[in-house]
Amino acid sequence: MTKITSRKELEQYRKNLQKQKGSKNITISVCAGTGCLALKAQEVVDNFREEIKKHKLSANVEVKEAGCPGFCEKGALVVIHPEEINYIKVQPEDVAEIVSETIVKKKVIPRLLYTDPHSTKPIKKESDIPFYKHQKRILLGNNMKIDSKNIDDYILYGGYSALAKALFDMKPEEVLEEVKKSNLRGRGGGGFPTGRKWETTRNAQSDKKYVIVNCDEGDPGAFMDRALMEGNPHLVLEGLMIGGYAIGANEGFVYVRQEYPLAVENTEIAIKKLEELGLLGKNILGSGFDFTITVHRGAGAFVSGESSALMSAIEGRVGEPRPKYIHTAVSGLWNKPTCLNNVETWANVPLIINNGAAWFQKIGTENSKGTKIFSLVGKVNNTGLVEVPMGTTLREIIYTIGGGVPNGKKFKAVQTGGPSGGCLPEKYLDLPVDFDELYKVGSMMGSGGMIVMDEDTCMVDIARYFVNFLSQESCGKCIPCREGLRHMLRILNDLTTGEATEDDVKLLEELSEVVQLSSLCALGQSAPNPVLSTLQYFRDEYQAHINGECPAKVCKGLLTFTIDAAKCTGCGLCMKNCPVEAITGEKKTVHHINSDICIKCGNCYEVCKFNAVQKATGKQKKVVSVERR
Amino acid sequence: MIQELREIDEIIDEYQGQKNALIQILLKIQEKKHWLPKPALLWVSERLNIPMAQILQIATFYKAFSLEPHGEHIIRVCLGTACHVRDGPKILEAAEQHLGIKSGETTPDLKFTLESVNCLGCCALGPVMMVDTNYHGKLRPSEVPEILEQYRTDTSALTNEQQKRKPTAQHQPASPVISR
């Protein structure tokens, strides 16, 4: 590979790519993100390559392993350009038909199109599908056009032009000023103004400075960083390089959790390709700017996503946070000024430099600019990644884009911000989502997880789930977090088995306050949020648990399963599926569940085709929950 | 034994013996051996001149590391929020019942290690179970035994599938181990 040593050569390189691209008229993009790979996307790609060869179409048709566009629920996703025909749920065996019908005969296959559940009409074009139509995809938009392992794809669509602009047309101060003017706020959750953070690191006196990409997305229920890092790593790396230039850092790190093997792989490939092209290393594009990037894999610790903990992990030590009397922006990695930003924050930087701060300012609300990617999951029809301008209401996200709650169930709550966030009830559905509005109602943006819950979700169980998660993930360095969370978990466990009293709930509230006020890092400080918000909005459910009932019929300790004699046909399916042989009965006679043996797994309830198994709630004999220690 | 230490030497050399690469070195050893054997750790300690206590501190703090042997196949059941509200815990229960072990344990025949993880980032496909590098999404508890049995009996077929998934030489093997 020849090196690109000047801005002019980069433009020439791009022009050549455009010329080459011109000869291939049709592109078949298959999403090769983790979600679609789990749904056999790799086989789909392989079959496409084979079929194209078989039909001797290789000169005209390109098959692309693209990044994740976000509609994971409907994978494997295939988009055929230039017509933008969007096929969903494509199986490897559909490929031959797609090639012979759509590619050769130009006929659309209706059964593979997305059907709008409201109008029941199939939709041909990707951009017409409501899930995509109502989004503003400035960050994710290119994912489906780009093969993330191929740097040429990124360059073809204008990649590294922002870096060239920053290096040649702007002084570092001007880059910093542009980012400050854009009012970009940190997408990792805190929402701290990015420009101000950069400025602190820039102004700190030191011979050496560092910049870091935080891709330690440990929040359960969030995967936007993964999609960006897997699908378009160059966008993030370009942002990092521009940041390095503005701040005065020559060394960058990408911290990726090892649970995301594909993100690690794609980032490493991207860095290698950059080095080969001469876009990383000494004297980039002949500008005199030197920059190197190293990938550091996380080893599985949620708390290591916290900035000071992450830095000590990169240093090869235990990833525990430290008190931040002195910010990491002043004294971070190896005690040098270090600027750490989330994946999504860095990804916004090239866009701001290319389009200007004024363009960015036009998107979003007064104090939260730009778009935000949410991972919309849980009890919602269209799950996946949703990128919308700040200020879009929860209702638009969940109903217009997400298609509402499935199976005719009633919406109960939406949990935003992961374990640090809170659960919001129906009355806040028209809340415009931005950093400040969410905070006002007791939740937060967090990294952008959005979990929809319906009437079958127990809010006490959800609070217990998050506290359980955080108490396991607490590093244990400070006592309020280590002991406080453990005790909160004990009370919540008692609630789910009907053993807690009103005094316990009072204590739970007190503990929440103490943990919030006195923990060392944000993990502990925000850990009580799910408890406090559920207490605020769903207090009646806590009361019901004290009375021995779980209204959503989720908490095992408060459930009984019985068989309705009038409905039971004696088919024996429940008996076959019972793991503990608690069900007895002869064939074609009414079956019976022995409640002394029953472990309330609910298998019988799910498999019964005649609705004969009844689930009831009410205080039973003492069942000690598994989690209780 | 000497062969094993040689392998570890290769890993250390890859990082030019840098002390701060300790976690990356341990991750690579874990990937190769599926656990961190004591002689290996002693050798790392010797070569990098890092006290054993510090190495053990790291090996016990991070979830990716194990100080006990792991099974041939590693099953990770996702219990992230999205999977949790879609009955992820029942998938774990089904796997536990089928294998006769609890989460975090290894079957006596060293065939399977069962783990629960807090998020695999496949939230739209919940509930998700990952066996080695293969994801199984939108699962029902009743499907779990059948999937696991495939791995017990037909390893050759699965290897082929994995190879298909990683078609070109430039692809690095996916990192196999997550948490305990």
DSSP A247-307: HT--EEEEEEETT-HHHHHHHHHHHHHHHHHTSSBSSGGGSS--BEEEEEEE-S-GGGGSH
Instruction: Search chain B and give the residue with CA nearest A272.
Output: B170
Cβ within 8 Å of B, A 15-44: 34-35, 37-39, 42-43
| pLDDT value of position A577 | 83
**How much is the pLDDT for A40?**
86
Q: Which residue of A has its CA nearest to B125?
A: A73
Is the pLDDT assigned to residue A39 strictly greater than 70? yes
Average pLDDT rounded to a whole number, residues A208-229: 91
CA A198 to each of CA A179, A192, A348, A369: distance values in angstroms, whole numbers, following the listed order: 9, 11, 14, 17
A221–B58 CB contact, under 8 Å: no
Minimal C-alpha gap between A65 and chain B (Å): 12
The pLDDT of residue A120? 84
Mean pLDDT of A454-471: 93
Is A220's CB within 8 Å of B142's CB?
no
Categorise residue A4: left if φ over 0, alpha if ψ from -120 to 50, beta otherwise.
beta
Q: What is the pLDDT at residue A629?
A: 40
Q: Which of A154, A153, A155, A179 is nearest to A166 (CA)?
A: A179
Alpha-carbon gap, residue A292 to B13, rounded angstroms: 20
Read off the tokens for A439: 């905070």
Identify the pLDDT of residue B168.
34
> How confident is the model over A332-370, as pLDDT tens digits?
999 999 999 999 999 999 999 999 999 999 999 999 999
Task: Kindly determine whether residue B175 and residue A607, on different chains, have CB atoms separated by under 8 Å.
Answer: no
- C-alpha R_g of chain A: 27
Structure tokens at B25: 């070195």
Compute how many other C-beta atoms are within 10 angstroms of the C-beta atom of residue A551. Answer: 18
| Lookup result for tokens 């995509």 | A132
Over 80: is that where the pLDDT of B74 sits? Answer: yes
| A425 in Cβ contact with A550 (< 8 Å) | no
Answer whether B61 sits within 8 Å of A318, measured CB to CB.
Answer: yes
CA distance B177 to B29: 11
Beta bridge partners of A583: A593
Query: Residue B63 and residue A301: Cβ atoms within 8 Å?
Result: yes
A108-132 residue pLDDT tens: 999 999 988 777 889 999 889 989 9
**Across B65-88, average pLDDT:** 86
Band of residue B96 on the pLDDT scale cut at 50, 70, 90: very high
Q: Are B77 and B129 spatial neighbours (Cβ–Cβ below 8 Å)?
A: yes
CA proximity to A406, closest of A377, A448, A375, A449: A377
Record the pTM.
0.89
A73 near A38, Cβ under 8 Å?
A: no
Distance from CA of B125 to the nearest CA of A (A): 6
Closest approach of A177 to chain B, Cα-based (Å) = 35
Fill in the amino acid letter for A361: Q
The overall average pLDDT reported for chain A is 91
pLDDT at A300: 85
Instruction: Locate A467 and state its tokens.
Output: 């506290």
Least confident piece of the model among A44-48, A74-78, A527-531 = A74-78
Predicted confidence (pLDDT) at residue B160 exceeds the cutoff of 50: no
Q: Is the pLDDT of residue A447 over 90?
A: no
Mean pLDDT for the stretch of residues B97-115: 91
Supply the DSSP symbol for A241: H
What pLDDT, on a 0 to 100 scale, did the predictor assign at position A327? 92
A residues 162-221 lying closer than 8 A (beta carbon) to B: 217-221
Closest by Cβ to B82, choosing from A265, A451, A475:
A451
On whether any CB of chain B is under 8 Å from the CB of A316, the answer is yes
**pLDDT score of B170:** 33
Given strand B73-78, what is the order of strands in its sheet? B112-117, B73-78, B129-131, B134-136
Q: Are A462 and A471 in contact (CB under 8 A)?
A: no
Query: For residue B164, what pLDDT is reported?
Result: 41
For residues A167 and A284, give the distance between their C-alpha atoms in angstroms, rounded to a whole number: 9
Nearest to B164 among A42, A579, A603 (CB): A42
Instruction: Read off the pLDDT band of A620 (50, 70, 90).
Output: low
Q: For A573-612, write each residue's pLDDT tens digit.
A: 999 888 788 999 888 899 999 988 888 888 888 889 999 9
- B62 closest CB neighbour out of A37, A300, A577: A300
Residue A182 exposed, middle or buried by CB count within 10 Å (0-12, 13-18, 19+)? buried
Q: Is A57 on the interface with B (CB under 8 A)?
A: no
Token look-up 């002991």 returns A483
The pLDDT tens digits of the residues spanning A306-320 come to 999 999 999 999 999
Q: How far off is chain A from B151, nearest CA to CA, in Å?
A: 16
Contact at CB, A38 and B137, closer than 8 angstroms: yes
Percent of chain B, pLDDT > 90? Answer: 34
**Which residue on chain B is closest to A315 by alpha carbon?**
B20
| Three-class secondary structure of residue A140 per DSSP | coil
pLDDT at residue A283, as a whole number: 95
How far does A457 lie from chain B, in Å, by closest CA? Answer: 7
Query: What is the enclosing helix (H) or strand (E) of A79?
Result: strand A78-81
Would you state the structure tokens that stand for residue A599, as one six-digit string?
Answer: 């472990």
Burial class (CB in 10 A: 0-12, 13-18, 19+), B80: buried
Which residue would you say has higher pLDDT here, A356 or A260? A356
A490 vs A472: CA distance, rounded Å: 13
Chain B residues near residue A222 by CB distance under 8 angstroms? 119, 121, 123
User: Which letter does DSSP use for residue B142 in this model?
Assistant: G
Of A302, A466, A579, the CB nearest to B97: A579
Whole-Å CA distances, A16 to A11, A20, A155, A354 = 9, 6, 11, 21
CA distances A389 to A286, A418, B178, Å, are: 37, 20, 35
**What residues in B contact A415, CB-CB < 8 Å?**
81
Residues A425-440: tens digit of each pLDDT: 999 999 999 999 999 9
Cβ neighbors of B47 (< 8 A, separation 6 or more) are B9, B12, B17
Residue of B nearest to A316 (CA): B20
Q: Is residue A185 predicted with pLDDT exceeding 60? A: yes
Query: Are the C-beta atoms of residues A50 and A18 closer than 8 Å to each other?
Result: no
**pLDDT for A578:** 86
> Which residues of chain A lie closer than 8 angstroms to B117, CB-CB?
259
Half-sphere exposure of A193 (CA within 13 A, CB side): 13
Residues A403, A599: Cα–Cα separation, whole Å: 36
**Interface list for A 587-606 with B (CB within 8 A):** 601-603, 606
Taking alpha carbons only, the member of A496, A495, A499, A525 closest to residue A512 is: A525
pLDDT for the residue numbered A576: 87
Task: Identify the burial level of A609 via C-beta atoms within 10 angstroms of its C-beta, where 0-12 means exposed, 13-18 middle and 19 or more buried.
Answer: exposed
CB contact under 8 A, A318 and B57: yes
Least confident range from A167-176, A240-249, A343-352, A594-603: namely A594-603
Q: What's the rounded mean pLDDT across residues A505-530?
A: 94
Which pLDDT band, with edges at 50, 70 and 90, does B179 fall under? Answer: very low
DSSP B12: H
